[in-house]
């Protein structure tokens, strides 16, 4: 089985403008759920609640897919990746169209908050976006997508990505129903 690895999804780079309401590569989980492992020692204890809330955003009652706390290797990490313009990054590997593994790295070069403080990136805000990448929704960069969780730009103090836009929900429904 040939495994293609390390497709990199970056939050803050500029890509050609997309006009889709959501964007999807065709790669997806072959299951209707995935575990999220927040147990790495690099993850502060104070982040566990906002992490759970990010999972809940995608686990809405009508959702065709759900995240659960588990330790099947799909992990969250916090590490200093330097001044690279990217507060968080999600890597995934897949075979054919099926996901094999997904991991997200928060970049602790930048300041983090769990309460939307100005001057800090908000854990729940950023992770809700990154979990969209776990579902293999892609970043959106058109200004008309600016209110969506999958909008590819973020800013210090931002919290609007915590709650999904209709188009984010349409995206997950299109992939997993
Ligand atoms: Zn992104």
pLDDT band at 26, cuts 50/70/90?
Answer: confident
Q: Which domains does the chain have, with CATH numbers?
A: 4-12+23-172 (3.40.390.10)
CA separation for the pair 37, 12 (Å, rounded): 25
Distance 11 CA to ligand 1 centre (A): 4
Can you tell me the mean pLDDT for 10-23?
53
Among candidate residues 162, 134, 165, the one with its CA nearest the CA of residue 49: 162
CA of 143 to the centre of ligand 1 (A): 15
Please give the share of the chain, as a percent, with pLDDT higher than 70: 89
Q: Name the pLDDT band for 52 (thresholds 50, 70, 90).
A: very high
- How far apart, in whole angstroms, are the C-alpha atoms of residue 149 and residue 130? 9
Beta bridge partners of 143: none
9 alpha carbon – ligand 1 mean position (Å): 6
What is the distance in A from the centroid of ligand 1 to the CA of 131?
9
> Per-residue pLDDT averaged across 93-120, rounded?
96
The reported pTM is 0.88
Residues 152/140, Cβ–Cβ less than 8 Å: yes
Average pLDDT over residues 80-109: 95
> Both ends of the chain: CA-CA distance in Å?
27
Query: How are beta strands 76-79 and 98-107 bridged, if at all?
Result: parallel
At 20, the pLDDT band (50, 70, 90 cuts) reads low
- Whole-number mean pLDDT of the chain? 89
């Amino acid at each position: 089985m040939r495994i293609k690895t390390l497709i990199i999804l970056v939050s803050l780079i500029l890509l050609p403008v997309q006009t889709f309401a959501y964007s999807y590569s065709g790669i997806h989980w072959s299951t209707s759920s995935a575990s999220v492992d927040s147990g790495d020692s690099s993850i502060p204890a104070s982040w566990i609640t906002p992490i759970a809330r990010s999972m809940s955003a995608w686990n809405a009652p009508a959702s065709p897919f759900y995240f659960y706390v588990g330790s099947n290797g799909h992990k969250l990490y916090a590490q200093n990746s330097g001044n690279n313009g990217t507060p968080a990054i999600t890597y995934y590997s897949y075979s054919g169209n099926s996901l094999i593994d997904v991991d997200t790295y928060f970049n602790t070069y930048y300041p983090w908050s769990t309460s939307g403080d100005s001057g800090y990136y908000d854990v729940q805000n950023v992770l809700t976006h990154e979990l969209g990448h776990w579902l293999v929704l892609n970043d959106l960069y058109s200004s008309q997508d600016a209110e969506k969780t999958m909008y590819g730009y973020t800013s210090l103090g931002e919290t609007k990505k915590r709650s999904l836009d209709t188009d984010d929900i349409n995206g997950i429904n299109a992939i997993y129903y």
